[in-house]
């Protein structure tokens, strides 16, 4: 009995402890309910603050972006070499019109004969809405930039059509004025020693002149002119193969009706003013030669472009060096043509024509293979001689067709592709051309924007526009 009583007492004690534990647990639950409420409120405040910080930062970035865009436009305009206003005035005006005048901190200018560099700094300050709760009252955002227009090293080839059709409608006179305007623009005083211009007149052929031809491996046959024949494969490259033995172009005239023994319109241009003038910066000499240009013979645009690109290609650097040594080219151009990888230099061709490719003939080899025959054809117009001294049955045996319009277009496109692949900028001008000629010139140009189709005195505007666009404006930072 006593033992039973003891067990009963122990059971009651356990029940009392269980009740106490339950009361404690209930109190604990009530305490935890309060803790959760405080935690939830804390998290809400943190999320609200994070969102507020995002709003403050976004507003600051919007102001910074507007400030930077204004600064970029301002310094680009101020760095323009054609800009007559003071650079600091230009930048200040841009900021004032954008309502940001108070944010402009400073403008610095560095300029010389061939460049203008404008730098500016600005800063915007934004009052915070939410971040001030964290002790951050304002946010600042700086803007800075530098714009530069620089006339760097520029290598230019002017490839000008002087074929017979240029005598019509005052075209040769208009070309002279346009080409001289171009020369005077790109060779202004501040561009001295920076820009080299090679003048390449072409008609049915190109007279390289003794300065160039005498420095190549040529199979000389006569001393009347300096036109060289190229294998078709050479038109797939801008390079001039200085190891190749070039055939000298025949000296003769054939494209008259045969009534008169005219000798002043040879297939190869023979007069000194028709020769290539390579790598010059002498505006007076270039203009004097341009003023003498006269129309003659047919049209071989691809031959003109071949020489024009060759004078931009590093393969002719040795020839230029030799001419510098001989005092024929200014020593400041030593080392040109520069490599295509030289990104500080611009290589460009201005390719102009008033027509399209046509047939081009040569005298058969059997009738042109001795000094006496070279001399003979220098005294007789080919057609005149054939019609007066040779039976018509044998006429076709005396000549053969070397090029036609289709082949001329093909070789020209090969040259255009090779030039563009090397980064040469091609500006093409169709001067009163027919649809086919315009289409060919448009396709040859570096882009549709590099093609001009003009008539009359508008050719002057085309050359002027090209000259102005040679200067490259770029944002450097």
pLDDT digits (tens, 9 = 90+) for 182-237: 999 888 766 667 889 999 999 999 999 999 999 999 999 999 999 999 999 999 99
Of 8-12, 200-204, 266-270, 435-439, the least confident? 8-12
Q: Report the percentage of the chain scoring pLDDT > 70.
A: 82
Mean pLDDT to the nearest integer, 142-162? 88
d(CA 422, CA 340): 6
Mean pLDDT to the nearest integer, 422-431? 94
Averaged pLDDT score across all residues of the chain: 86
The pLDDT of residue 34 is 53
User: Are 225 and 270 in contact, with CB atoms under 8 Å apart?
Assistant: yes
| pLDDT above 70 (res 422) | yes
- Phi/psi-derived region of residue 28, left when phi > 0, alpha when psi is between -120 and 50, beta in every other case: alpha
d(CA 286, CA 176): 11
Helix (H) or strand (E) holding 247: strand 246-248
- Helices (DSSP H) in 187-314: which residue ranges? 209-213, 283-292, 301-310
Q: Are strands 425-431 and 451-454 parallel, antiparallel or unpaired?
A: parallel
The pLDDT of residue 12 is 44
- Which has the higher per-residue pLDDT, 206 or 65? 206
Q: Give the E-state strand segments of 67-204 in sequence order.
A: 104-111, 115-127, 138-150, 153-161, 195-202
Q: Which fold has domain 153-471?
A: Rossmann fold (3.40.50)
Question: What's the pLDDT tens digit per position in 357-415?
Answer: 989 999 999 999 999 999 999 999 999 999 999 999 999 999 999 999 999 999 999 99
DSSP state of 6: H
The pLDDT of residue 8 is 47
pLDDT tier at 324, thresholds 50, 70, 90: very high
| pLDDT above 60 (res 260) | yes
Name beta bridge partners: 108.
Answer: 119
| pLDDT above 80 (res 35) | no
Mean pLDDT to the nearest integer, 114-134? 77
| pLDDT above 70 (res 436) | yes
- Which has the higher per-residue pLDDT, 40 or 15? 40
Name beta bridge partners: 391.
Answer: none
d(CA 291, CA 274): 11
User: Are 166 and 172 in contact, with CB atoms under 8 Å apart?
Assistant: yes
pLDDT tier at 153, thresholds 50, 70, 90: confident
| pLDDT above 90 (res 64) | no
Position of tokens 């204004």?
70
Helix 283-292 and helix 171-186, axial crossing angle in degrees, nearest 10: 170
Phi, psi of 80 (to 5 degrees): -60, 125
- Which has the higher per-residue pLDDT, 161 or 342? 161
pLDDT tier at 346, thresholds 50, 70, 90: confident
| pLDDT above 90 (res 336) | yes
Q: Which of 425, 421, 451, 418 is nearest to 437 (CA)?
A: 451
Of 49-58, 97-106, 208-217, the least confident? 49-58
pLDDT tier at 18, thresholds 50, 70, 90: low
Of 25-39, 132-146, 211-225, the least confident? 25-39
pTM score above 0.75? no
The pLDDT of residue 467 is 86
Three-state SS at 353: strand
Please compute Rg for the chain using Cα positions: 40
Of 71-75, 130-134, 473-477, the least confident? 473-477
Strand order through the sheet with 218-219:
218-219, 246-248, 228-229
């Amino acid at each position: 009995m006593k033992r039973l009583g003891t067990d009963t007492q122990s059971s009651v004690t356990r029940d009392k402890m269980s009740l106490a534990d339950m009361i404690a647990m209930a109190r604990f639950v009530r305490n935890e309910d309060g803790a959760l409420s405080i935690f939830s409120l804390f998290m809400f405040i943190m999320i609200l603050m994070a969102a507020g910080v995002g709003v403050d930062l976004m507003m600051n970035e919007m102001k910074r972006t507007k400030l930077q865009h204004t600064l970029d436009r301002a310094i680009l305009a101020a760095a323009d070499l054609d800009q007559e206003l003071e650079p600091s005035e230009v930048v200040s005006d841009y900021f004032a019109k954008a309502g940001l005048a108070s944010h402009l901190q400073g403008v610095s200018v560095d300029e010389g004969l061939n460049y203008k560099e404008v730098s500016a700094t600005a800063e915007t300050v934004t009052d915070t809405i939410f971040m001030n709760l964290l002790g951050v009252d304002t946010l600042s955002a700086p803007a800075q930039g530098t714009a530069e227009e620089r006339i760097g090293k520029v290598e230019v080839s002017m490839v000008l059509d002087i074929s017979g059709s240029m005598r019509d409608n005052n075209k040769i006179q208009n070309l002279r004025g346009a080409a001289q305007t171009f020369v005077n623009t790109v060779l202004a005083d501040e561009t001295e020693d920076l820009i080299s211009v090679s003048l390449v007149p072409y008609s049915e052929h190109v007279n390289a002149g003794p300065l160039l031809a005498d420095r190549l491996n040529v199979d000389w046959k006569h001393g009347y002119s300096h036109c060289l024949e190229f294998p078709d494969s050479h038109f797939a490259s801008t390079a001039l193969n200085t190891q190749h033995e070039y055939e000298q172009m025949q000296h003769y005239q054939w494209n008259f009706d045969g009534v008169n023994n005219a000798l002043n319109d040879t297939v190869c241009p023979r007069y000194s003013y028709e020769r290539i003038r390579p790598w010059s910066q002498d505006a007076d000499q270039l203009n004097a030669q341009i003023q003498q240009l006269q129309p003659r013979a047919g049209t071989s645009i691809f031959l003109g472009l071949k020489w024009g690109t060759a004078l931009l290609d590093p393969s002719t650097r040795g020839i230029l060096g030799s001419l510098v040594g001989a005092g024929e080219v200014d020593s400041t151009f030593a080392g040109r043509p520069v490599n295509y990888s030289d990104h500080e230099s611009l290589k460009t061709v201005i390719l102009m024509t008033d027509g399209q490719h046509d047939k081009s003939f040569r005298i058969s080899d059997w009738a042109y293979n001795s000094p006496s025959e070279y001399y003979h054809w220098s005294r007789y117009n080919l057609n005149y001689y054939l019609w007066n001294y040779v039976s018509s049955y044998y006429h076709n045996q005396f000549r053969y067709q070397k090029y036609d319009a289709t082949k001329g277009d093909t070789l020209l496109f090969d040259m255009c592709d090779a030039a563009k692949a090397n980064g040469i900028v091609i500006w093409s001008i169709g001067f009163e051309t027919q649809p086919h000629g315009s289409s060919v010139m448009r396709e040859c140009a570096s882009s549709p924007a590099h093609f001009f189709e003009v008539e009359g005195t508008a050719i002057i505007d085309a050359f002027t526009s090209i000259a102005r666009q040679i200067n490259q404006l770029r944002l450097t930072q």
